[in-house]
Amino acid sequence: MKPLDELKLIAFDLDGTLVDSAPDLALAINAMLVDLGRECFDEVTIRHWVGNGAEVLIKRALSGSSIVDNTLSESLYRQARSLFEQHYCEKLCVASRLYDGVAESLAAFSQRNIPMAIVTNKPNLFTPGLLQQIGIADYFDVVLSGDSLARKKPDPLPLQHLLDHYQLTNQQMLMVGDSKNDIQAAKAVGCRSLGLTYGYNYGEDIALSGPDFVADSLVELVELIDGSVTA
């Protein structure tokens, strides 16, 4: 069997995979911390806290560490969450940008009539707006946010939902992401995965998570697909 000759669907992570959203997330987190009278953090630090959804990001910021302080009060978290949502909604796509190779690669997949979906841990409050503002919303048939279903990545539920929705076998779907959460979800559901070397993976080499393919750019996936078809 050729590498991707059965491919019928590409599922993409969003933050760290298609969009470098860390600059705007950092702005919103720091605005929240200022409102709470707390210490701010540089963007590099906040980048290492992104990837597990807004709740974990906020709690890491309140803890000042990638390890969440379990003594944080629920009332503080709720106050912080409200402030973060306000700030991030106001400036959802100010400094965020598509990673190099993303725009042309999505266009190439579309031209090849390959269905595409989003599977992100980002809350639905933000996901559609970011996709629309950054100009790629029309590429995706299905968008699953972190709160669209009962569980999010690394749980396999969102990917299983896609398999059921499109009536596919697990080998007909490819999960593309930058984080071990994406690779773990793919392994759990039995589909193949491509790990990108950039993005937000807590400082870890994505290859350590054991994806089926590793790439520095989505352009490499276009080449891999074309090679599978023509080989």
> Active-site residue numbers?
13
- Cα Rg, the chain, nearest whole Å: 18
- CA dist list (Å): 40 to 24, 68, 117: 14, 16, 35
Neighbours of 53 (CB within 10 A): 19
Residue 146 CB contacts under 8 Å (≥ 6 apart), including other chains: 53, 54, 120, 121, 122, 123, 124, 152
- CA dist list (Å): 98 to 4, 18, 77: 25, 6, 30
